[in-house]
């Protein structure tokens, strides 16, 4: 339902399982839009943990927190709809408090990342406010998680990103993190960025943690 013709991360997950013998696959999706295709493909599959952080209410309108999988897959889908305006602090809190503990409990053989850069504050199609360095910090956390849990096996697949400057900066900073280099972000203030909706973010994270017992 988005701009994607093929569910590339889902294909990668099945390839990892069927061709590479990796029984348990984790997918972390930080695209601003909910990965509804991935969600639906693995809805009843307990061998794939799907965790999506996305803007609440953004296209395609799916990804409610109550969507936690079906049948044998109940609990293997974790949706974290962040309120509009959420930025660096919200992204990192969601990772540290939900993504990382869910991964540790699941114990994946590989981590796949649906790496969308349309949550960047420059992007015109949505309303999150990630900084360029947010992608460095998220990618560094993914790398550390993979090093700890699955021998460093992590794969990033490019998803959305519709401002060329924000896209380029975000992708470059992800590579820097994976290579062990520092962020290329200017750490200074950014004109026009508003304060994060901290109280709303905390409510969302608390609800998700309670629902999934994290």
> Residue ranges of the alpha helices (H) in the chain?
8-20, 36-41, 88-94, 100-106, 132-149, 164-179, 198-212
> What pLDDT does residue 19 have?
98
pLDDT over threshold 70, residue 196: yes
Whether the full predicted model's pTM is greater than 0.75, yes or no, is yes
**Which CATH number applies to 7-77+91-111+121-150+175-182+197-214?**
3.40.800.20
Q: How does strand 110-115 pair with strand 77-82?
A: unpaired
Per residue in 140-191, pLDDT tens?
999 999 999 999 999 999 999 999 999 999 999 999 999 999 999 988 888 8
Give first-to-last CA distance, the chain, whole Å: 30
How many CA within 13 A on the CB side of residue 146?
20
Round to whole Å and give the CA distance between 102 and 41: 20
Q: Give the pLDDT band (50/70/90) at residue 101.
A: very high
Round to whole Å and give the CA distance between 46 and 69: 9
> What pLDDT does residue 187 have?
84
> What pLDDT does residue 113 have?
98
Per residue in 85-96, pLDDT tens?
999 999 999 999
- Residue among 86, 82, 195 at smallest CA distance from 130: 86
Phi/psi of residue 90, nearest 5 degrees: -65, -45
Looking at residue 130, what DSSP letter applies? Answer: B
Per residue in 37-66, pLDDT tens?
999 999 999 999 999 999 999 999 999 999
How many CA within 13 A on the CB side of residue 142?
29
Phi/psi of residue 168, nearest 5 degrees: -65, -45
Positive or negative, the CA dihedral 211, 157, 59, 173 is: positive
For the chain, the residue count is 214
> What pLDDT does residue 5 have?
80
> What pLDDT does residue 153 have?
98
> What pLDDT does residue 20 have?
97
pLDDT over threshold 80, residue 2: no
Calculate mean pLDDT across residues 111-120: 97
């Amino acid at each position: 339902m988005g701009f994607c013709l093929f569910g590339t991360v889902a294909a990668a997950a099945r390839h990892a399982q069927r061709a590479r013998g990796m029984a348990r696959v984790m997918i972390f999706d930080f695209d601003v839009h909910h990965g509804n295709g991935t969600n639906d493909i693995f809805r009843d599959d307990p061998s794939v943990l799907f965790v999506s952080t996305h803007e609440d209410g953004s296209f395609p309108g799916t990804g409610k927190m109550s969507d936690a999988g079906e049948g044998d897959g109940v609990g293997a889908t974790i949706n974290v709809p962040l309120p509009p305006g959420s930025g660096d602090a919200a992204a990192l809190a969601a990772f540290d408090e939900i993504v990382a503990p869910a991964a540790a409990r699941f114990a994946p053989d590989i981590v796949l990342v649906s790496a969308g850069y349309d949550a960047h504050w420059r992007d015109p199609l949505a309303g999150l406010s990630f900084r360029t360095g947010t992608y460095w910090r998220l990618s560094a956390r993914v790398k550390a998680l993979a090093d700890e849990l699955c021998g460093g096996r992590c794969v990033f697949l490019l998803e959305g990103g519709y401002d060329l400057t924000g896209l380029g900066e975000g992708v470059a900073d992800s590579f820097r993190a994976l290579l062990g280099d520092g962020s290329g972000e200017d750490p200074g203030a950014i004109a026009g960025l508003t304060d994060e909706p901290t109280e709303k973010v905390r409510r969302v994270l608390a609800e998700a943690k309670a629902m999934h017992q994290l």
